[in-house]
């Protein structure tokens, strides 16, 4: 059994190591004459094509699904699904807290996971929040930032929306960092993924007006989404001069 787990762990670590290597070697850097106040977007032509694809996907599929979901699902149930999804993601957050040297964050998130899994009935209810135990966020893109990996160029990913080269690589590595994915059997391991998708669809419906104003009512929705994403992301990282965190979508913009 232990040999099998060891083999699975080694096999799972290969994509992580490959992802780290790609990030360290592949983040595009601005030239010495680049104005730091100007967004570094050397892939703008391709990004705008992806943005139009994402807008069409949102208009035809994601927005109708999100609005319909929010109307059909009671708010309390919608909150419970979001809590459940967030709770299942906490072990991966703990891994990133540790990789960043954030022992306090790892401890707090571990306690939060235990409390919500037990008292919160598997995470359906935010029992830890009632005790003031809030999540300290952490993803592998943030870990790379702590390690000193540069942000790289701005990119817009098909189906996922705004990102940077560093954050995009982090998304890939995060697919392999949650310990639950190696512990839970099939098909139980996919319950969290389904809950995560449902939570994102619910967010699209809940913040429909704010997101619509960006995607469909602005003169240049690409530039608008790009600016909001970068400001929000840099604020969360403690990088840049963002004055305040912006929320619609949490401007995570997945499923945009």
Q: What is the DSSP code string of 119-175?
A: TTTTTTS-HHHHTT-------HHHHHHHTT-----EEEETTTEEEEHHHHHHHHHHT
Residue 40, number of CB atoms within 10 A of its CB: 20
pLDDT in tens, 87-131: 999 999 999 999 999 999 999 999 999 999 999 999 999 999 999
Q: How far apart are CA 208 and CA 62, in angstroms?
A: 10
Three-class secondary structure of residue 214 per DSSP = helix
Model confidence at 2: pLDDT above 60: no
The residues that bridge with 163 in the sheet, in sequence order, are 155
Model pLDDT, residue 102: 97
Q: Domain map of the chain by residue range? A: 63-251
The per-residue pLDDT for 182 is 82
Asked whether 94 and 112 are in contact (CB, 8 A), the reply is: no
CB atoms under 10 Å from CB of 82, counted, come to 21
pLDDT of residue 26: 62
pLDDT tens, residue by residue, 192-205: 889 999 999 999 99
pLDDT in tens, 203-236: 999 999 999 999 999 999 999 999 999 999 999 9
Phi-psi region of 29 (alpha: psi -120 to 50; beta: other; left: phi over 0): beta
The answer to whether residues 12 and 176 touch, using CB atoms and an 8 Å cutoff, is yes
| Band (42; pLDDT cuts 50, 70, 90) | very high
- Confidence label for 73 from pLDDT (cuts 50, 70 and 90): very high
DSSP one-letter code for 185: P
Tell me, what DSSP letter sits at residue 188?
G
CB 152 within 8 A of CB 166: yes
Q: How far apart are CA 196 and CA 95, in angstroms?
A: 19
Per residue in 15-36, pLDDT (tens digit) is: 555 555 555 546 788 878 788 7
The pLDDT tens digits for 151-208 are 999 999 999 999 999 999 999 999 888 898 888 877 777 888 899 999 999 999 999 9
Q: Computed from CA positions of residues 177, 178, 181, 184, in that sequence, does the dihedral angle turn out positive or negative?
A: positive
Cβ neighbours of residue 150 closer than 8 Å, sequence gap 6 or more: 27, 29, 166
């Amino acid at each position: 059994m232990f040999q099998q787990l060891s083999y699975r762990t080694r096999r799972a670590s290969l994509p992580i190591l490959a992802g780290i290597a790609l990030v360290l070697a592949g983040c595009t850097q601005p030239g010495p004459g680049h104005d730091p106040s100007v967004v570094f977007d050397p892939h703008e032509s391709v990004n705008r094509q992806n943005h139009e694809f994402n807008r069409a996907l949102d208009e035809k599929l994601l927005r109708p699904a999100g609005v319909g979901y929010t109307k059909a699902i009671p708010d309390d149930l919608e909150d419970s699904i979001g809590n459940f999804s967030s709770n299942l993601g906490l072990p991966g957050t703990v891994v990133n807290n540790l990789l960043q040297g954030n022992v306090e964050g790892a401890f707090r998130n571990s306690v939060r996971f235990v409390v919500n899994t037990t008292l919160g009935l598997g995470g359906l209810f935010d029992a830890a929040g009632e005790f003031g135990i809030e999540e300290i966020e952490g993803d592998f893109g943030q870990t790379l930032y702590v390690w000193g990996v540069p942000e790289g160029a701005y990119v817009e990913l098909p189906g996922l929306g705004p990102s940077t080269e560093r954050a995009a690589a982090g998304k890939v590595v995060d697919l392999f960092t949650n310990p639950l994915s190696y512990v839970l059997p099939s098909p139980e391991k996919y319950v969290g993924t389904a809950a995560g998708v449902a939570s994102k669809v619910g967010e699209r419906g809940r913040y429909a007006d704010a997101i619509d104003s960006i995607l469909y009512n602005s003169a240049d929705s690409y530039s608008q989404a790009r600016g909001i994403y970068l400001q929000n992301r840099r604020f969360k990282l403690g990088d840049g001069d963002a004055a305040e965190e912006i929320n619609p979508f949490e401007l995570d913009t997945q499923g945009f």
